[in-house]
Amino acid sequence: MATLQGMLSLDELDAQVRAGAIDTVLVMFTDHYGRFMGKRFDAEFFVADAARQGTHACNYLLTV
């Protein structure tokens, strides 16, 4: 199977964070106007906590 470009596994992300190459992780989707909606995480926090325990968003962000 072909490898997707730009997609990192959690282990690859962790390695990039520890190397200092990534300092922020964006958890995003687009609204119906194409604008980004979501959260910005400190990369170390994301790898240590949010990636394993999940995160939350307001339901109104998903309304049409």
Residue 32: inside a domain, yes or no?
yes
Residue 3: inside a domain, yes or no?
no
Residue 2: inside a domain, yes or no?
no
pLDDT per residue as tens, the chain (64 positions): 566 677 899 999 999 999 999 999 999 998 888 999 999 999 999 999 999 999 988 888 777 6
Q: Per the structure, how many domains does the chain have?
A: 1
Residue 1: inside a domain, yes or no?
no
Residue 16: inside a domain, yes or no?
yes
This prediction has a pTM of: 0.77
Task: Please give the residue range of the domain that contains residue 45.
Answer: 10-62
Closest C-alpha among 43, 8, 12 to residue 25? 43
